[in-house]
Amino acid sequence: MSNTTAISKENQSTTAPVTTIFSNSEIKNQLATYGLEGLDFDHASFPTISLRTSFEMSGEPDFDLKSFDVTVIQSLKKYILVDTAEESKKAMTEVKYSRDGINTVDGEPLDNYIDFITEKGGKPVLKRYLDLLVQLHTNDKHNQKLAVLSISPTSVSRVSGMFYQLQLQGQLEHLANMKITVKRGEQRVSKSNATYYLWAMEPKEQAPVAA
């Protein structure tokens, strides 16, 4: 599937529920020993870091780091349904998020919103992002916090290539102990003449490979 996909309802099919580390009962069982029952987690449980002209963290207007280190815990696909007719006018209304490209994160069929956008003369497009659940390593109040890096469609392939390179080098099994530096990459200009930046990520240090 391409990073930005025009909607074709005939091509949609049912997929299995998305599995995350939070599907494992161990985390909930650990918290239950402290009397915390009924908790539910997913990647939306933590602040999201996006890259516009600079890095921005949801709910944290003072987050102004030019670069920072992370430990990657898990990656997940994320689809965002947008009306590109509104997007080009800088007048975006509510967007819908999905993990499987079929239902919203609230369990509603995306078809409902696709039909609504189409009926009002819009152009529905499903954009494919990559969410990286990470632990931050910074020198400020955010140190050791969990956060989600929302990797934009234009950077998904580059970030994917970094992980494949680590696998070829025998480093992927050490991912949990590897610090990766995140910074703003190349500047690009879109077809609509808007400036954007690519995500740049590279291992800060590599674990030794066993002979």
Contact (CB, 8 A) for 119 and 113: no
pTM above 0.75, yes or no: yes
Task: Tell me the pLDDT tens digit for each residue of 144-190.
Answer: 999 999 999 999 999 999 999 999 999 999 999 999 999 999 999 87
Candidates 151, 153, 175, 154; CA nearest to 164 is 175
Q: Which two tokens stand for residue 161?
A: 């290539």
- pLDDT digits over 61-115, tens only? 999 899 999 999 999 999 999 888 765 555 555 788 898 889 988 889 999 999 9
- In angstroms, the Cα distances linking 187 to 75, 195, 197, 201, 202 are 24, 7, 5, 15, 17
In sequence order, the 6+-apart residues with CB closer than 8 A to the CB of 17 are none
Q: What is the pLDDT of residue 205?
A: 65
From first CA to last CA, the distance across the chain in angstroms is 38
- Is 210 a residue whose pLDDT tops 80? no
The burial of 156, by beta-carbon neighbours within 10 Å (0-12 exposed, 13-18 middle, 19 or more buried), is given as: middle
Whether 17 shows a pLDDT value over 80: the answer reads no
